Copies of this chain bind each other. A is one copy, B any other.
Amino acid sequence: MKPVKVGICGLGTVGGGTFNVLTRNAQDIARRAGREIIIAQVATRHPNPDVDTGAVAITADVNDVINNPEIDVVVELIGGYTIAKDVVLGAIANGKHVVTANKALIAVHGDEIFAAAEAKGVSVMYEAAVAGGIPIIKAIREGLAANRINWLAGIINGTGNFILTEMRDKGRDFADVLAEAQALGYAEADPTFDVEGIDAAHKLTILSSIAYGIPLQFARCYTEGISKITTDDVEYAEELGYRIKHLGVSRRTEKGIDLRVHPTMIPVARPIATVDGVLNAVMVNGDAVGDTLYVGAGAGAGPTASAVVADIIDLARTFDAPAEASVNHLAFNDIEDVAVLPMEEVETAYYLRIQAEDKTGVLAAVASILSERGINIEAIIQKEPKDGEALAQIILLTHVVVEKQMNEAIAAIEGLASTVGDVTRIRVEHLN
């Protein structure tokens, strides 16, 4: 069969990895795809020292790729919202299929991009946008297609997971580990996207759309970072049989869809709790299959290229098939506009850490505040002041309650004369 010709826009870490995988494994890839996949052109302004582009045509102008009549598939690996969006929409307008690793672009502009692609009868593939090399988009859109998905939860930012793992294993502070992660190149100079959960929220937005058949609603995703987690919290979590992970959680409820990224305590006995360092993991619960878990590298040249090239192979295989043979962009051929729940209406269990001068008095007062709001206590730990510190700590685990109730309870606890400073609150999910 006729080869498929791809044009790669961007030759950084992921672009270089994609070039190298397509070249190194060309023979096996052709045996799988049923036809050759040829890199016809690369758009880049900077050479990549890890890539030998050989005889492949190089241009500094992405428009040369978009407008190249030879090219069947445009691979967008530039990142960001501006040039990347022009490349994707330009390629679609020219009737080319698109493969992208750009989570921000899909989470924020995906609805517009998919509509344009459907009007032109082309596909936009984005396996690499979520959880790097783990084929999680394919698992949810195809592998679990028989299921009504009930919930999903994922460690979908490797930097954050590396920081929390180091804090637990070595008792180090957040700021200290972050500085090391930046030095190692795991975290960007501006770490906001990673540690404040924005990157995870982009990915969760995409996963939720394909799980439930709802529009992409990044703006409605509740996002809370890990910068306030202390080594005390990490230790108390372990003492209670839990581990703190920065999770994206999304759940189908009768009132709407949960969509939230926040530090989360999960039972240590779950396999996902043992996913450490820069690894990513996603749990998906479906009504037929029950719980499934997918683990792997969430970033890096090789893993991301693995996902990009898998998409190219899917396109090559179905290149001569009618458009209906391709999987719907957001899994379903019609999208249901189910509401995303405001965070105040989300139901979850909680870990609370309260600092107090007079431990005995405050415990009675706290218990009464919770009890008045129907919040049941699952476990309590009281800690004497550490050497040189004046404050005792009270740690509570609660049963499941509506967030609004908990907000009111926390405000009341913080208002007590005997408590000091803010109450630390970490949501608890049992993932079952």
Contacts and interface: CB of A to CB of B under 8 A. Distances in A.
A290 interface: yes
A331 to B, nearest CB: 6
A320 interface: yes
Interface stretch (A26-34, A45-53, A380-388): A26-34
Interface in A251-301: 269, 271-272, 274-275, 281, 286-297
A166 to B, nearest CB: 15
Given A295-B292, A328-B34, A143 B135 contact: yes
Main secondary structure of the interface of A (DSSP, over half): mixed
B317 A146 contact: no
Contacts of A328: 32, 34
A112 interface: no
A74 to B, nearest CB: 18
Contact of A28 (B148, B295, B309, B322): B148
Given A25-B287, A133-B288, A290-B302, A142 B310 contact: yes
A334 interface: yes
A296 B321 CA distance: 33
B297 A294 contact: no
A167 interface: no
A326 B314 CA distance: 10
Interface in A130-162: 133-135, 138-139, 141-148
A223 to B, nearest CB: 27
A225 interface: no
Contacts of A321: 318, 320-322, 325
Given A286-B306, A292-B134, A317-B324, A333 B32 contact: yes
Interface string A20-42: 01101100110111100000000
A146 B313 contact: yes
Contacts of A318: 318, 321, 325
A256 to B, nearest CB: 17
Given A133-B289, A303-B289, A144 B310 contact: yes
Which 6 A-B pairs rank lowest in CB-CB distance, beginning with the nearest? A135-B143, A146-B309, A321-B321, A133-B289, A292-B296, A289-B306
Given A292-B297, A317-B324, 18 more contacts: A22-B146, A24-B287, A29-B146, A31-B334, A32-B332, A133-B290, A135-B138, A135-B139, A138-B138, A139-B139, A142-B310, A142-B314, A145-B314, A146-B307, A271-B274, A293-B296, A318-B325, A320-B324
